[in-house]
Amino acid sequence: MEAPMTLQGELDALEADILRMGEIAEHSVGRSVEALLERDVALAQAVIAEDDVIDDLYLSVDRRLLQTLALQTPVAGDLRLISAIIHINAHLERIGDMAVNISKTLLSVRDLPSSPKILSQLQEMGDVVRPMIRTSMEAFSRRDLDLCLKLPKMDDPVDRLNMGMYKEVAALASDPLLLDWGMRMNMIARNLERVGDNAVDIAEQVGFLLTGEFREFTDASHEVAPRG
């Protein structure tokens, strides 16, 4: 039987797995958008299959987090790290699911006509949310608060493009097939917007890890005061 790991050993292993999940999730989102733009069914199917890796990591991390809490009773900085990893783990798993949603949508619209303008806007959203995931995970691995605070600004164009998408789709109303395709693209825009929000949430968790105080960077229901 293996000797139990030290708390530091557990924390290092958990962090390494979370960083790996971040890389896979970012990769999946990028490939799901690429598959959409290229109508690449095989690539979309690969993204769907790759989600099993994220899910397995999610379950493994979740189980070990509980075990570490029960056996090592971490406190102070260790406890904040555990808490941050609990949340980041869930956010990355959700991001993986968004990539799957995008890929599955492609499979359902592959025979429909498309609008180059809408595709270009979705590409633009994808080009922003990928770096958002990378930046939030880099802020985590470098313990960099300044980097965390860049996330809300990065998210602005994603929100703007998502908000404008329904108008672009409505403009397709005269062509029923194109409208059918467009409605599904609106859902993809929503998924990409959620990916951006999850990246902001990850950065908020890193902020908590570093400062000991949880603070939402953005809040849909209230104005959030700028950081003093």
Partner 1 sequence: MTDESTLVPALTGALAAGVATPETAEIVFDIRNLSVLYGTFLAVRDVTLPVHRNEITALIGPSGCGKTTVLRCLNRMNDLVPTARVEGEILYHGVDLYGKDVDPVEVRRRIGMVFQKPNPFPKSIYDNIAFGPKIAGFKGDMDAVVEGSLRRAALWDEVKDKLKGSATALSGGQQQRLCIARAIAVQPDVILMDEPCSSLDPIATARIEGLMRELVADYTIVIVTHNMQQAARVSTRTGFFTVDVSEDGHRTGTLVEYDKTEVVFTRPSDPRTEDYVTGRFG
7 binds partner 1 (CB under 8 A): yes
Residue 73 contacts partner 1 per CB under 8 A: yes
Does 9 help bind partner 1 (rule: CB under 8 A)?
no
Piece of the chain touching partner 1 by CB under 8 A; list 34-42, 59-67, 72-80, 128-136 = 72-80
Residue of 78, 138, 144, 180 interacting with partner 1 (CB under 8 A) = 78
Could you tell me if 120 and 198 are in contact, meaning their C-beta atoms sit under 8 angstroms apart? no
Mapped onto helix, strand or coil, the DSSP state of residue 63 is helix
CA atoms within 13 A on the CB side of 56: 7
Work out how close the CB of 210 gets to partner 1 at its nearest, in angstroms, rounded to a whole number: 10
Q: Does 74 bind partner 1 (CB under 8 A)?
A: yes
Q: Is 131 in the site for partner 1 (CB under 8 A)?
A: no
Axis-axis angle for helices 116-142, 76-109 (nearest 10): 160
Binding test (CB under 8 A) with partner 1, winner from 43, 69, 79, 90: 79
The Cα–Cα gap between 16 and 137 comes to: 11
Single residue of 75, 116, 174, 225 touching partner 1 by CB under 8 A: 75
Is the CB of residue 122 less than 8 Å from the CB of residue 102? no
220 lines the binding site for partner 1 (CB under 8 A): no
CA distances from 15 to 110, 162, 171 (A): 39, 32, 46
> Which residue in the set 80, 91, 130, 194 belongs to the binding site for partner 1 (CB under 8 A)?
80
- For the chain, the maximum distance between any two Cα atoms, rounded to a whole number of angstroms, is 68
The residue assigned the tokens 């139990």 is 4
DSSP strands (E only) in the chain = none
> Given the complex with partner 1, which of 15 and 159 has the nearer CB atom?
15
Q: How far is the CB of 74 from partner 1 (least distance, A)?
A: 7
Please tell me the count of residues contacting partner 1 according to CB under 8 A.
12
**162-171 residues labelled b (16+ CB within 10 A) or e (exposed):** beebeebbee
Decide whether 120 or 211 has the Cβ nearer to partner 1.
211
Site for partner 1 in 190-219 (CB under 8 A): 211-213
DSSP code, position 187: H
| N- to C-terminal Cα separation, the chain | 52
Region binding partner 1 by CB under 8 A among candidate stretches 24-32, 41-49, 74-82, 95-103: 74-82
Q: Which residues bind partner 1 (CB under 8 A)?
A: 7, 73-80, 211-213
